[in-house]
Amino acid sequence: MDSVNRFGPELILLAMAAVIILADIGWALAGTGAERMRRPALGALALTGTAASIIWSALLIAFDEQGEAFSGMIRVDDFALFFNFLFAGTAAIVILASIDFLRRNRFVAEYYALILASTAGMMLLASTIDLIAIFVALELTGISLYILVAFMKDGRSSEAGLKYLLLGAISSAVALYGMAYLFGITGSTSLDEIGLVVSEANGETRSALVLAMVFLIAGFGFKMAIVPFQMWVPDVYEGAPTPVTAFLSVGSKAAGFAVVMRIFLTALGDGSISSDWATVFAILAAISMSLGNITALVQGNIKRMLGYSSIAQAGTFLIGLAVVAAADPQLLLGTSAVLFFLGTYAFTNLGAFIAVIAISSKIGSDQIADYAGVAKRSPLLALGLTICLLSLTGIPPTAGFIAKVYVFNAAVQADLVWLAIVGVLNSVVAAYYYLRVVLNMYTAEPASEESIQPGYYLGLAMVVAVVGLLVIGIFPSPLLEASEAAARVFG
């Protein structure tokens, strides 16, 4: 029973996904009379599922019900619970933002069910400690997301879906090849046992371990969307339905970082190998930040711009991972910096994408040029988007400022001063294209005077995101403590 209990947050999401599909069949049988209630009811069911998942995770903490489940496949600890809250919260906000978006779509039930299934997959990615389970969770997340990206059935959405699927399949094959070598060297698929064997490894197996490490970085780099595994990001972000883009940019990326931290800190955390991957991550961090920001400068489409900006942000997270290789205090500092940054980034990016959903659905365009004068047509939306963009830039009093200070501080303390300098320079570059959107919204003349009114649900989601990032920006200590507690798992 313990196993099922600890698996609860994921289980309830999967159960709710099944309930939603069955309820939809029920509605089809009930005839057209009940049709009016179908969409709100299905949305409510999906939200109930995420809420129940959050409550279950909270109960696991309250009753101190932590430990392993399913004979060492899953470990529910502070790290896994941190991500449970992050993913369930993200899913809830995305579902809220999708309700208006799905007004004209027939397949509402499938959409919600897939969101819940991929959320469960992401939670599993953060809690699994066995390579087989990691692979299954990776594909559960991935396959659900491929369908969601291709959901709109028009040319652009299918094209984005095909690109995402092809590159996703290649990347999981590459990661699997690395896992195969890891299994061959150590004879186990459990991360703890692999870590034990790796720490006793001698010079002979080292080259094979480095090979496995490179394959794993290449495979999971796709999920994290870091350079040079970022080719899919702008196309998929542009073509996918915008709520799905928001989900991808926050959920999928955070899941990638969660599983990389699990694998690299547990299985490959030994000093002889960790300095190697830390160097790789430091270089990739610098390239991701620079390339992401410079390419974002010339983008005309706001979804593409946010896509490139998310590549740059992923580079900033990677600084935290690069810091980890040094001694113990840095391990804590680096991992907790990544976790804290992921927490703030979730609010920030969700807020930005929700504003884009609200504005673009009204003006019928994703072009930054068409955002001219939005502040006159909808002052509150423009203010919300401005706050989110300021947070992405890293300007106080928003959450993004604290997160950047935390990460750069970690880099300086680990003697990676050059990386911190690259990061700060990139923040300056980033400010240019983020503030360009803000300027355009406030100073340019609007094309029409018609006001933009987001729907009730969309407005609520926006308020949650913006209030969240301001609260974290002013009172960062609860999230800081939570991320430090989660990072201590690897201590």
Contacts with another protein by CB under 8 A lie at 131-132, 135-136, 139, 143, 146-147, 150, 153-156, 158-163, 165-166, 169-170, 173-174, 176-177, 179-181, 183-184, 187-189, 234-235, 238-239
Shortest spacing between CB 38 and another protein, in angstroms? 25
Report CA-CA distances (Å) from 105 to 21, 100, 119, 219, 340: 15, 10, 22, 34, 36
Shortest spacing between CB 174 and another protein, in angstroms? 7
359 within 8 A of 430, measured Cβ to Cβ: no
Q: Give the DSSP letter string of 38-76.
A: HHHHHHHHHHHHHHHHHHHHHHHHHTT--EEETTTTEEE
Shortest spacing between CB 113 and another protein, in angstroms? 15
| β-pair partners for 190 | 130
| β-pair partners for 209 | none
- How open is the CA angle 106-108-109, to the nearest 5 degrees? 120
Q: 179 vs 375, which CB is nearer to another protein?
A: 179
Q: 44 vs 136, which CB is nearer to another protein?
A: 136
Q: 179 vs 441, which CB is nearer to another protein?
A: 179
Radius of gyration of the chain (CA): 22
* Rounded Cα–Cα distance for residues 137 and 141 (Å): 6
| β-pair partners for 367 | 301
Start-to-end C-alpha separation, the chain: 29
* Rounded Cα–Cα distance for residues 85 and 483 (Å): 12
Q: 172 vs 344, which CB is nearer to another protein?
A: 172
Q: 149 vs 325, which CB is nearer to another protein?
A: 149
Shortest spacing between CB 159 and another protein, in angstroms? 5
Nearest to 214, CA basis, from 283, 158, 147, 290: 283
Q: 165 vs 452, which CB is nearer to another protein?
A: 165
**Residue appearing with tokens 């371990």:** 209
Q: 152 vs 466, which CB is nearer to another protein?
A: 152
Shortest spacing between CB 242 and another protein, in angstroms? 14
Shortest spacing between CB 148 and another protein, in angstroms? 12
Q: 156 vs 376, which CB is nearer to another protein?
A: 156
Shortest spacing between CB 163 and another protein, in angstroms? 7
The two three-digit tokens of residue 117, written as one number = 């299934």
Nearest to 402, CA basis, from 337, 324, 466: 337
Nearest to 316, CA basis, from 215, 236, 217, 226: 226
Shortest spacing between CB 48 and another protein, in angstroms? 28
Nearest to 27, CA basis, from 95, 109, 105: 109
Shortest spacing between CB 256 and another protein, in angstroms? 18
Q: 59 vs 298, which CB is nearer to another protein?
A: 298
